[in-house]
Structure 1
Amino acid sequence: MVSTLALKLAISLGCLFLFTGCAVNPVTGKQNFTLMSEADEMRKGQQAAVEIGKAYDVYDDLPALQAYVSEIGQKLAKKSHRPQLDYHFTVVDSPQVNAFALPGGYIYITRGILAYLNSEAELAAVLAHEIGHVTARHSVRQYSAATAANVAAAIGGLAAAIFMPQLGGQLAQGVQSLLGITGSALVSGYGRSHELEADRLGAEYLARSGYDPQAMIKVIGVLKNQELFDIEVATQEGREPRRYHGLFATHPDNDTRLQEVVGEAEQYSQPSAADDRRAEFLRQTEGMAFGDAVNHGVIRGNTFQHKEMGFILSFPPDWRIRNKPDEVVAISPGGDALMVLSRFGNPRGSPADLARERLRLESSIPVLSMTSNGLALAVVSSTTSDGKPFKASVIYHDNNAYLLAGRGDSPAAFGRNQAAISGTIESFRALSNAEKESIKGLEIRTITATNGLSYAGLATNSPLGSNAENYLRLLNGQYPEGEPVAGQKIKIVK
């Protein structure tokens, strides 16, 4: 009786999918399993676009750049399999290397990835790849697969609960973990088959629009080089390396399947494909912001400065500093100690009260209240729940509270770095009006290479820090060992 009930449920739900879950794929003309109509797709895209608007600012420093990107995107979209959609192309103010598409034709590209491209053809390749995701309805197909998987998980959970009641919940969770699909495809890709399909479609749209489809290979090479470089940096910083959108282990130059799918687009190539419009791309991106936006705080040398919040602090000269969306992290040269700065708005009570609340301190742990650089703060030294010693301070400034904490991986590591942690806490101060006005963001600039110019030479006066030489090579598509050629237009950061 139990097995019959589970079977009936499975058959009923399967029939539901059979009669309501198929639609013609606009790319292949074949039936695909989907639980979302095109009208639903448009609505979902609009809703998601509102949320993206809350998370990302539009990059509006260069209005002409927005228009330029949109013009290229619309040209490509007209050559796609779904030209009737109302496409939207937006440059977002983020230093992240990324581009992504929402259902219904909402496509986003960061200024971060624009900085590492070197021609209009490469920009078009990024946009064409994302258009390919839209035309093939990858997000819709993923949503439908996830919905079906969750129903399958529910059936599995029900059967398990009936046969082995004490394990039912755990088994259901296990099936959901195995079959569930999250929304991470926006930044991490849709899987090998869908990414290859987007590459193939994107290459076709490139060729039909007058660009060389091989620009798709070049762009994937740009991203692969970013990934390889980040592996080096991540090792230095003691973190996991980033994996870029849809990339796998093989370099694109050696990826036979990728070469094949892009090569299929050669049949659509036009004579104009020989011009990658590099000069126009460099003109449009001249003066584009690079790295952290000023309103998010900037790293200059060993200092972190926040113009809008009006403060500055200094980390030890040899520590590695990262400005993340919700915190600033600094790591010691040996990776055995770190400091973290975070913010809390509208604080209540004293700095000592907030320190006890946020750090969950026992009443027996002393908290020192004091004033430093004209600011009220509280300082405490203790150990974490796993026995790692730390020193932390809660600082009040301009209706905000800042928690600045430093810890060592061991008592010995903390001892080696304690003076550095204390010095950073003591360095936190308000910016003067003159200092605020002097804070400027970094920008992309173009120069003409002269005889004997090298990236090592350019790196000596670069604001890009210890890895400036590699960053300059990445910016100019010459990573890992290329050098400028006399007469070549190259990008620098100022």
Structure 2
Amino acid sequence: MKSFVFLIILGFAISFAPAAQSWGTGSGSQSLGADVSGAFSQMENALAQRDEDISSQDAYFLGRAVAANILSRYGLYTGKPALTQYLNQICTAITINSPMPEIYGGYHVSILDSPDLNAFATTGGHIFMCRGLLEAVTTEDALAAVLAHEIAHIQLKHSDQIIKNMRLTQALTDVAQRASDIAVREAGLSEREVLFTNYVREMVNTLVVNGYSRDTEFQADSYALTLLALAGYSPASLVEVLTLLQRTAGAGGYNGTHPSPAQRINNVRGALPQYRVQDTSSSRSSRFAGSVR
């Protein structure tokens, strides 16, 4: 099953022989020494695998599992099917002009039935925009700015870093104890299934609860400006979105999972002079009004 392919590729779970109970001399202590030596050798192998890239195919199927979890929390907005199509058209306009126009499974945008002013992107090209944010923006370029920021997370592979960090944590944890073995036996799951579940849980927690780090969000903003310019959208539209979020500070959504909009606005404004894009936003106003309003 493809959803578990990446677990084989990422397999780094460490299996240790039970440590000898004797701490004296003789064969018992030699066995213990061999166990310890083998444990550290396996840990080194696990750490070496930490920075291995995740294949696009594995990223897609992992992203699907994360997307399913997000949908179970929010639900899918189906009130206006044409609106979802409209967002996907904007997404295509951005990605087709980007450095990464094609990924395994493609890019897909869906609307969450939530009043929050928020958006998410999972590894592998799955993008979600909350209904509340969609209703709050006033231009197509602003919608493009939101999508460009989420596409930036995908193309910069920010979710992959979550897995790499978990590899390190898992490796060090397994050296200290084999608590995961107990959990596996109690749950009746294979070790690979537990790893898969842990990856999904950690990604959902990062996207929905804690958010990415400040530096990661700043990187996504910077990259989003380039994506907008390449697609012919106004890079300044990102300031429009961030200003909207700043006015709604304390309302949850982006403000709960992203750094303060104030610093992001300063960073974006400082970078805008390097982009020379003709303002054609007025040509899209009627299309926006007909699709969103």
> What is the TM-score when the length of structure 2 is the normalising length?
0.70
Distance in 1 (CA, whole Å) between partners of 2:202 and 2:78 is 34
Structure 1 alignment gaps of length 5 or more:
22-32, 159-179, 232-240, 287-494
Aligned CA distance change for structure 1 residues 183 and 60 (closer, same or farther; 3 Å): closer
State the partner residue of 2:204.
183
Shift of residue 118, structure 1, vs aligned partner: 1.3
Contact 1:36 1:144 in 2 (8 A): no
Task: Provide the secondary structure at the position in 2 that maps to 1:58.
Answer: coil
Is 1:65 the counterpart of 2:83? The answer is: yes
Deviation at 1:139, TM superposition (A): 0.9
Residue of 119, 124, 147 corresponding to 1:104: 124
User: Over residues 359-408 of structure 1, what are the superposed CA-to-partner deviations in whole Å (9 max), with x where a residue is unaligned?
Assistant: xxxxxxxxxxxxxxxxxxxxxxxxxxxxxxxxxxxxxxxxxxxxxxxxxx
How far residue 210 of structure 1 moved from its aligned partner, in angstroms, is 0.7
Matched, 1:125 2:145: yes
Shift of 1:263: 3.0
Residue 246, structure 1, aligned to residue 258, structure 2: yes
Instruction: Name the residue aligned to 1:271.
Output: 278
Distance 2:70 2:245 in 1: 23
Is residue 245–residue 261 contact of structure 2 (8 Å, CA) maintained in 1?
Answer: no
Task: Quote the Cα distance in structure 2 between the aligned partners of 1:118 and 1:284.
Answer: 12
Aligned to 2:135: 115
1:376 alignment counterpart = none
The amino acid across from 1:226 in the alignment is T
- Equivalent residues in 2 for 1:150-189 (5 A)? 150-156=170-176, 183-187=204-208, 188-189=210-211
Structure with the larger helix share: 2
Cα separation, 1, equivalents of 2:176 and 2:89: 49
Figure out how many residues of one structure are paired with residues of the other and give that number: 238
Within 2, Cα distance between the matches of 1:194 and 1:219? 18
CA distances 1:313-342 after superposition (whole Å, capped 9, x unpaired)? xxxxxxxxxxxxxxxxxxxxxxxxxxxxxx
Alpha-carbon spacing, 1:146–1:259, altered in 2? closer, same or farther (3 Å): farther
| Offset of residue 115 of structure 1 | 1.6
Q: Measured at CA, do residues 82 and 104 of structure 1 come closer, stay the same or move farther in structure 2, by a change above 3 Å?
A: same
Give how far 1:273 is off: 4.7
TM-score by length of 1: 0.43
Counting only pairs closer than 5 Å after superposition, residues 423-442 of structure 1 correspond to structure 2 as none
Q: Answer yes or no: is the 8 Å Cα contact 2:113–2:131 preserved in 1.
A: yes
Match for residue 201 of structure 1 among 218, 223, 239: 223
Deviation at 1:76, TM superposition (A): 0.8
2:233–2:281 Cα contact (<8 Å) kept: yes
Deviations 1:414-441 (A, max 9, x none): xxxxxxxxxxxxxxxxxxxxxxxxxxxx
Q: 1:67 to 1:183 in 2, by over 3 A?
A: closer
Q: Greater shift after overlay, 199-208 or 88-97?
A: 88-97
Change (3 A) 1:248 1:53: closer
Alpha carbons 1:80, 1:135 under 8 Å: kept: no
Q: In structure 2, do the counterparts of structure 1 residues 219 and 249 end up closer, same or farther at CA, with 3 Å as the change threshold? A: closer
SS at match of 1:94: coil
Structure 2 counterpart of 1:271, one-letter code: Q
CA 1:117–1:274 in structure 2 vs 1: closer, same or farther (change >3 Å)? closer
2:153 and 2:254 map into 1 onto residues whose CA distance is 22
Shift of 1:189: 2.2
Equivalent position amino acid for 2:119 in 1: A
- Distance change >3 Å, CA 65–CA 71, structure 1 → 2: same
Contact 2:63/2:122 (8 A) holds in 1: yes
**Shift of the alpha carbon at 1:90?**
1.0
Question: Which AA in structure 2 matches 1:185?
Answer: T
Greater relative contact order (Cα 8 A, min sep 6): structure 1 or 2? 2
Asked which structure has the greater CA Rg, the reply is 1
Deviations 1:275-308 (A, max 9, x none): 483443233222xxxxxxxxxxxxxxxxxxxxxx
The percent identity for this pair of structures is: 25
Asked if the contact 2:88/2:109 (under 8 Å) is kept, the reply is: yes
Structure 1 counterpart of 2:43: 13
Change in CA separation of 1:17 and 1:276 when aligned onto 2, cut-off 3 Å = farther
Measured after TM superposition, the shift of residue 114 of structure 1 is: 1.0
CA apart distance, 1:77: 1.4
Instruction: Name the CA distance, whole Å, in 2 between partners of 1:242 and 1:123.
Output: 14
Task: Show the counterpart of 1:280.
Answer: 287
